[in-house]
Amino acid sequence: MFGLVLLVGVALAVTHWLSGATSTGGGYVNESYTPPPPDLNPPPLPSVSTVAQAQDTVTKDPIYAQTVPGPTLCQVSHIDLTSASSAQLQTYMTNLVGCLMAVWNQPVARAGYELPRPPVIVFTSPVTTGCGKLPTENAVYSGADQKVYYTTDLPQILPPNLQNARFVVEMIIAHEFGHAVQARTGILISFNGLESVASTKSEKNDWSRRGEMQADCLSGLFINSVSKSAGLTQQDFANIEATARAVGDDTIKGTRNVDGNHGLAANREHWVQLGMSSTKVSVCNTFVAPASSVR
């Protein structure tokens, strides 16, 4: 779940595929790749049966040994989130998930897992998902039905200057797709299970934050991979980082050092930046990170 809370700031030297590239031209590693259609009947997700197995999965999953390909070709243009119709948003989000498949299909397969293409459901009022009823002003990946949900009014949770900024919504959907990667590799069910058996609210929040900030980092890997073909500028990257800060637990609640379930603004920004500066999935292993970096 994007959960109205995203990231927080450590200044990093971020190296992207950018190098002054534009949105056209060859040299992309996936030019022959055609994403599969949305899978309305996906295979079951991996399962875990013990706490020890869950702990082993979140810390040592084979996905951590993989790298994302790049630069990858992603032919999506900017969409005005404040004025686009539901149909336009549906088309755009569906195409965006095609780009996400181009980035994640290979590393997930090499780790020994399947990655069916999750459908995107764009909605305008509260909707019932496999995980229960979902309110508006949100975006969610539901592991119960393996779909991504996006509400048309989500930009309203962001500061006005970011509501129509380029690649902000892409980062949000990439975060939700990060949960799909977690689900298909067994990480999602593992950290959810560890959260459920934790004995204190603080411990539960810690497991939740590690899962959410890993999804932040995975979104950064995607952004790095497509940054060349998307023609992202340094201002675009700055807007992505600002969005992360805008949805931190402390930013949303107006309380410093709050013990929330998504992460402080500075830490969420930190994990997105880590992803945007690398191709290695291992940099996103939040489950072995110090507690201070996942507050």
Contact 166, 239 (CB under 8 A): yes
Q: What is the mean pLDDT of the chain?
A: 90
Looking at residue 135, what is its pLDDT?
93
What proportion of the chain, given as a percentage, has pLDDT over 70? 91
Looking at residue 77, what is its pLDDT?
78
**6 has a pLDDT exceeding 60:** no
**120 has a pLDDT exceeding 90:** yes
User: What average pLDDT score do residues 255-265 get?
Assistant: 94
Pairing of strands 127-129, 132-134: antiparallel
In this predicted model, what pLDDT tens digit does every residue of 205-228 receive, in sequence order?
999 999 999 999 999 999 999 999
pTM attached to this predicted model: 0.91
**45 has a pLDDT exceeding 50:** yes
First to last CA, the chain: 17
**How many other CB atoms sit within 10 Å of the CB of residue 185?**
27
What proportion of the chain, given as a percentage, has pLDDT over 90? 84
Residue whose C-alpha is closest to residue 7's, from 255, 257, 263, 202: 263
**How many other CB atoms sit within 10 Å of the CB of residue 163?**
17
Both tokens assigned to 117: 């293409």
User: What average pLDDT score do residues 12-22 get?
Assistant: 35
Contact 84, 96 (CB under 8 A): no
In this predicted model, what pLDDT tens digit does every residue of 159-199 receive, in sequence order?
999 998 999 999 999 999 999 999 999 999 999 999 999 99
Q: Which of 40-44, 76-80, 170-174 has the lowest mean pLDDT?
A: 76-80
DSSP output for 3-60: TT---B--------S-TT--S--S--TTTT--PPPP-SSPPPPP---SHHHHHHHHHH
